[in-house]
Structure 1
Amino acid sequence: MITIYQHPQCSTCKKTRAWFDEEGIAYELKDIREERPDRESIRQAIASGNLTLRRMFNTSGNLYKEMQLKDKLDSMDLEEALDLLESDGMLIRRPFVTDGTQITVGHDEEKLSTTWK
Structure 2
Amino acid sequence: MDITIYHNPRCGTSRNTLALIRNTGVEPKVVDYLSAPPSKDALRKMIADAGLTVREAMRSKESVYGKLGLENPALDDDALLDAMVANPILMNRPFVVTPAGVRLCRPSELVLDILPLPQKGAFAKEDGEQVIDANGKRITGN
TM range (shorter): 0.7 to 0.9
Tell me the C-alpha RMSD between the 2 structures.
2.3
Indicate the percent of aligned positions where both proteins have the same amino acid. 25
Query: Is there any run of 5+ residues in structure 1 with no aligned partner, and where?
Result: none
Q: Which has the higher helix share?
A: 1
What count of residue pairs does the alignment treat as equivalent?
Answer: 115
Larger Rg: 2
**Structure 2 counterparts to residues 1-117 of structure 1, below 5 A:** 1-48=2-49, 50-70=51-71, 72=72, 74-99=73-98, 102-108=101-107, 111-117=110-116
Query: Is there any run of 5+ residues in structure 2 with no aligned partner, and where?
Result: 117-142
Deviates more, 1:107-116 or 1:30-39: 107-116
Shift of 1:27: 0.3
Would you say the 8 A contact 2:62–2:89 is kept in 1? yes
Structure 1 stretches of 4+ moved >6 Å: none
Cα 1:85–1:40 shift into 2, 3 Å: same
Q: Give, in whole Å, the separation in 1 of the partners of 2:22 and 2:47.
A: 27
With the length of structure 1 as denominator, give the TM-score of the two structures: 0.80
**Higher relative contact order (Cα pairs below 8 Å, separated by 6+ residues):** 1
Shift of 1:42: 1.8
Shift of 1:89: 1.1
Partner SS, residue 30 of structure 2: strand
With the length of structure 2 as denominator, give the TM-score of the two structures: 0.68
